[in-house]
Amino acid sequence: MMRNSLIQGITLLTLFASSSAAQQGTQGEWHLHGGDAGYTRYSSLDQVTADNVTDLDIVWRRPSVDTSVTSRWPDLRHSNQLQSTPIMIDGVLYASNSIGLLEAFDPANGETIWVQDTTFLGSETPRGTAGRSVAYWESDNDRRLFAIRAPYLMAIDAATGQFIESFGTDGLIDLTYNEETAYRGTSPPLVVKDVVIVGSAMADHPYTKEQHPGDVRAYDVKTGELRWTWSPIPQAGDPGVETWLDDSWTYSGMANVWTMFSADLDLGYVYLPTGAPTNDMYGGHRPGNNLYANSLVCVDATTGEMVWYFQTVHHDLWDYDNNVAPILMDITVDGTEIKAVVQLTKQAIAYTFNRVTGEPIWPIVERPVLGSNTPGEWISPTQPFPTKPLPFDRHGVTEDDLIDFTPELRAEAVEILKPYILGPIFTPPSIRSNNPEDTKGTFQLPGSVGGAEWGGAGFDPETGMLYIPSVTAGFVADLTPGNPDRMNVRYTRGNREFIAGPRGLPLTKPPYGRITAIDMNTGEHVWMVPNGDGPREHSAIAHLNLPALGQPGRAMPLLTKTLLFVSEGDPIMVRTPPGGGPDAGKKLRAFDKNTGAVVWETMFEAGSNGSPITYLHEGKQYVVLPIGSLSHQGEWIALALP
């Protein structure tokens, strides 16, 4: 399961002498999308506490596109789904706006400092989408921002907003794979040592078995020269190619990293969370376990050589991409200090490894899973399950898991699910039939939107506690026969629909969105609480005066020395599960880190689509987050104490 190299001669003494400050950035600032290169989303700031958090108020707001851009192009169209998390460096906020251009603004009042040079766009009204964040690099007086505006990797002068003309071609690198495969991506690059590293978001083509591999590429941070490429699909003679039976490696693709990377800046290692291969719900054309898809892969940032790997899903049929940036943490297990990395997953599992060697911190066992009845399918007989920590959200579904607020609602839920196959986690997708007597697919839980989400989790380096927002969302994993006139796959995915439960309520018992606190020194769960009210005011159950049921959505965490902040996630985000209340997704809360009790909440006009940050500027702590909804334009909002 694992391969180790490039680690000989590294002693534990050297490792633990490394400074954790290299991972964190400057005190009181926010230098990377995840707060630090280890994606802990943690800040040691403590000005805002449980005693005064109720005094937090909005101190400034900023539109998702600067007025200088909208006045130049009055017919400019851009998405309200603003996922852009700013970074804060040397008293300046930098962010990708709603059309993917960079802007710099004042952290005290949100006023514009500069907007990226737009002359490269020409006179035609531009189109684009916000990147999730930007990357930063400096050396002496050279300060650069790197961002993705598909299909380009851009290098921008942090002082002026002008392109770094010595990088690539006039500050741009075209990341397009070839004429058949365009480049897509919104996750930020990551700078490690002297390279800037990018992944890609690739469109899954359910009608063909061919696709380009989702390569990870590293470019020289000064010149833009391609330094190395790592492909998740091994080629002839490579280790792992034997896991692609029938030479399926020759045409299979994807397995890309569409979410964020993390890195140990002292070791010079980058941690890659790879996704599903082509196609994501039928794999009869790619028999075998399919390394290095659905894996956590550690590579050397200087060379791109693989150090170790672990595959979290064998032969993926569930669209179980590794969607969360790996989280780096130093923990103490049974008296031994360990440099660890945790990969959270859609299947609500926290895989935990020594980030130097790749060895599991607690045993991971291969357990039998159900076989597939789909003709021509190949399925792994086992999947890997950690013995610790236990899953942080529901695994699989039976009738006992269905909604039971009233006997009538339960009976309706049972009736709704009669045409679907139920079962434990890793129950494979099944064929949808138009015959009323046959089944309509598999009710999969967690679904491909479920478990942990790309917003990640918060890790407290002082206590070893990990706080994981997750969503309980089942959906239909169904297959339909491929049309030979326009497809070369035997089966393709069907509707992949979320099924509305009784009277529009969810099908399963609550919570529908939750937060789980895990002590990573022991691997034990400490507490779990619902995140949000959910549909408690629904007319069918309002009379029951139920407690919080949890809001199904992509929640985004921010952890400080004193509090845990978690949003709910606005329903504008693609494929948000149903079941929210009338103000679905619009609230931000602060939780007590010890108990999970809500100590403060506020509601905006729209929910947050990206991660919040915190920073200290001129003696005041701020919390900034992006919001937006179908009916509310994207904007950044800043909160602070009076």
Locate tokens 């710099």: which residue? Answer: 104
Other C-beta atoms lying within 10 Å of the C-beta of residue 47: 17
**DSSP codes joined into one string, 90-120:** TTEEEEE-TTS-EEEE-TTT--EEEE---GG
For the segment 246-298, what is each residue's pLDDT rounded down to a tens digit?
999 999 999 999 999 999 999 999 999 999 999 889 999 999 999 999 999 99
- For residues 456 and 327, the answer to whether their CB atoms sit within 8 Å is yes
For the segment 176-202, what is each residue's pLDDT rounded down to a tens digit?
998 888 899 999 999 999 999 999 999
Return d(Cα 449, Cα 467) in angstroms, integer: 19
- For residues 368 and 381, the answer to whether their CB atoms sit within 8 Å is yes
Q: What is the mean pLDDT of each run of 10 residues along the chain (642 residues)?
A: 38 34 64 98 98 98 96 92 98 98 98 94 90 97 97 97 97 93 94 97 90 97 98 97 98 97 98 95 97 98 98 98 98 98 98 98 98 97 98 97 97 96 98 90 95 97 98 94 95 91 94 98 98 95 97 96 97 86 91 98 97 98 97 97 98
Q: For the chain, what's the residue count?
A: 642
- For residues 475 and 444, the answer to whether their CB atoms sit within 8 Å is yes
In 49-183, which ranges are continuous DSSP H helix?
Answer: 67-72
Give the CA distances from residue 599 to residues 51, 563, 592, in Å, rounded to whole numbers and listed in that order.
9, 9, 6
